[in-house]
Amino acid sequence: MGDGVNPEHSFQLNAHYTQILDSLSDMVLVKGPKSRLLWANRAFLTYYGMTNEELQGIIDAPFSDPDYTQQFVRDDAKVFETGKVLNIPAEPVTRFDGQVRYFHTVKTPILDEQGQVIMTVGVSRDIHDKLAQEALIDEQRQRMITSSKFSALGEMSGAIAHEINNPLTVIHGRAGQLKELAEAGVVEPVQVLEVATKIEKTTLRISKIVKALKSFARDGEKDPFDIVLVADLVEDTVEFCRERFRSYRIDLTIEVDPNLTLECQPVPLSQVLLNLLLNSLDAVYPLSEKWVKVQITEEGEFIRFRITDSGRGIPADLHEKIMRPFFTTKEVGHGTGIGLSVSKGIVESHRGSLALDAQNPHTSFVVDLPARQPIDSPS
């Protein structure tokens, strides 16, 4: 037995207990004071490539990364000092062949009759593959957000051209008017001023569209959370599809208190609204009654966005499916089926919820978002 182990606390397990602990796939490791190893189950011995005799009294295996060993020692000391269970959601542990894998470890103190900590028991579960899978899913989600954004942009490019073309026509017409005035030799300052003001206003409208487009095309996923006026956010989003609604003669109304504010990542959130607006547009344009309503209200600590369209709801058997990635009822080349699932992801990363309101006689989606993010938010 190595030094530092109090013989009073020397460690004996009866044969049955050993068999039970050896049957576990989790690693079990018993340590005495000052992180001296006392006993390990088979899973641990296999991972370390050592025997219980070789482990006795050492602090860690020689192949272990010294930084990791230091962290283990600090964690053990904490359990000894506090007498409390320590939960370590993910810690790296070096395997006998040098590979490092991640484990979820719980270290529990073992007390003597006087309530003094005499040992710790660590139970470690291999979560390496699970973590890798989560990272992969996260990466896929990021890619989906980007691709949904570009498909929305692609779909809108025609409409955007329209949005810009219309004001250009206005400018063109007004410039012609100025020329006519000059040719006729009657240049009234009041008239010139009026025409020039109109041109100026129309130019501003174009630059607003271009500005909104630039910020939308940027990757906003890592943007900080910002407190914004909800009315502005909605207005900027609608900028992308106003003309399209107009050309389909769809009545688009927005009800929002101009003073409402929301802490959010404006670009991804604008993408959520746009996805919902475009879904409504797709749903109502073939109908005889065509309207889409966006209502924003304050509901206690939440801001509620309700997007309702003149459609008659979504068939009950589809309710569960619509939020799934790649579920679409649209023709090939028309929908990818990622709008809602990506939107749900974005809303949930804002600690909010996105749901279909199945009670509503029309098709109605509700997004609830906390007006302010909790302190430990990832922002």
* Contact positions vs ligand ATP (CB under 6 A): 148, 151, 275, 279-280, 283, 309, 311, 314, 322, 327-330, 335-341, 363
220 binds Mg ion (CB under 5 A): no
Question: Of 29 and 272, which CB lies nearer to ligand ATP in the complex structure?
Answer: 272
According to CB under 5 A, which one of 271, 279, 280, 341 is a site residue for Mg ion? 279
Where does residue 129 rank: exposed (0-12), middle (13-18), buried (19+ CB within 10 A)?
exposed
Q: Which two tokens stand for residue 19?
A: 């068999």
Q: Which helix (H) or strand (E) holds 28?
A: strand 27-31
Closest separation in Å from C-beta 140 to ligand ATP: 15
* Diameter of the chain measured on Cα atoms: 113
Q: Among Mg ion, ligand ATP, none, what binds residue 309 when CB lies within 5 to 8 Å by partner kind?
A: ligand ATP
Question: Of 129 and 251, which CB lies nearer to ligand ATP in the complex structure?
Answer: 251
Rounded Cα distance between 358 and 258, Å, is: 29
Closest separation in Å from C-beta 298 to ligand ATP: 24
For the chain, how many residues are written?
379
In this structure, are residues 368 and 357 in contact, taking their beta carbons and an 8 Å threshold? no
Closest separation in Å from C-beta 278 to Mg ion: 6
Question: Of 237 and 363, which CB lies nearer to ligand ATP in the complex structure?
Answer: 363
Q: Which residue is nearest to ligand ATP (CB)?
A: 339
Using the 8-state DSSP alphabet, how is residue 321 labeled? T
Site track 338-367 with Mg ion (rule: CB under 5 A), x = hit:
-x----------------------------
Distance of alpha carbon 321 from its chain centroid, rounded? 20
Question: Of 92 and 337, which CB lies nearer to ligand ATP in the complex structure?
Answer: 337
Three-state DSSP string of 76-138: HHHHHHHCCCEEEEEEEEECCCCCEEEEEEEEEEEECCCCCEEEEEEEEEECHHHHHHHHHHH
Closest separation in Å from C-beta 241 to ligand ATP: 13
Closest separation in Å from C-beta 211 to Mg ion: 24
Q: Which residues bind Mg ion (CB under 5 A)?
A: 279, 339
